């Protein structure tokens, strides 16, 4: 019985921690992202904006060049350069969090912009867009077919 008293505080703390983990894990929205809600803009392409749409954009927009060399700084007034490799730096995160408007990611590599969009979206950024160079966004350029099926064109 004396051993029980010696470890009662430790047991109580462990039980409280287990209870907290169970509550956080089993309730919706705490440790689990709502993947459907998060990926929705990618599927319906509402996260993409063209150069023409950017010119007609109302509201405060921050254009962020995520290329390593800052290739797009001259093309967009007020654009800032945050290379993808340093996007998570504290100073760059402060710049993005301080902006009270939409953030437009631009790169010559659409996949790079998409990866940065996903990362920032998961971090809780909203009003986040990818600048697309095409008005016909995400058109399939290749005909996909099952393995082993020959195309007879």
Name which of 3-7, 14-18, 89-93, 97-101 the model is least confident about.
3-7
Q: Quick one: 28 and 69 in the same domain? A: no
Q: Quick one: 1 and 68 in the same domain? A: no
How does pLDDT run across 15-68, given as a tens digit for each residue?
A: 999 998 888 777 665 445 566 666 677 667 778 888 888 888 777 889 999 988
Contacts of 108 (CB under 8 A, 6+ apart): 67, 71, 72
Q: Where does the pLDDT of residue 93 fall: very low under 50, low under 70, confident under 90, or very high at 90 and above?
A: very high
CA distance 50 to 56: 10
| 107 inside domain | yes
Q: Quick one: 58 and 109 in the same domain? A: yes
Q: Quick one: 65 and 28 in the same domain? A: no
Who has greater pLDDT, 105 or 76? Answer: 105
CA distance 103 to 79: 10
List the domain range (segments joined by +) for residue 102.
35-132
Q: Quick one: 22 and 45 in the same domain? A: no
Q: Quick one: 46 and 1 in the same domain? A: no
Contacts of 118 (CB under 8 A, 6+ apart): 42
How many distinct structural domains can be found in the chain? 2
């Amino acid at each position: 019985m004396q051993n029980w008293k010696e470890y009662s505080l430790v047991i109580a703390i462990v039980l409280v921690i287990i209870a907290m983990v169970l509550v956080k894990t089993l309730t919706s929205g705490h440790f689990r992202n709502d993947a459907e809600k998060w990926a929705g803009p990618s599927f319906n392409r509402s996260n993409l904006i063209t150069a023409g749409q950017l010119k007609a954009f109302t509201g405060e927009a921050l254009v962020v060049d995520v290329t390593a060399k800052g290739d797009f700084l001259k093309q967009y007034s007020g654009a800032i350069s945050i290379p993808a490799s340093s996007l998570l730096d504290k100073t760059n995160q402060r710049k993005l969090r301080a902006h009270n408007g939409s953030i437009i990611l631009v790169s010559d590599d659409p996949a790079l912009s998409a990866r940065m969009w996903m990362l920032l979206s998961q971090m809780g950024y909203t009003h986040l867009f990818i600048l697309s160079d095409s008005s016909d966004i995400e058109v399939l350029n290749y005909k996909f077919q099952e393995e082993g099926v020959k195309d007879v064109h």
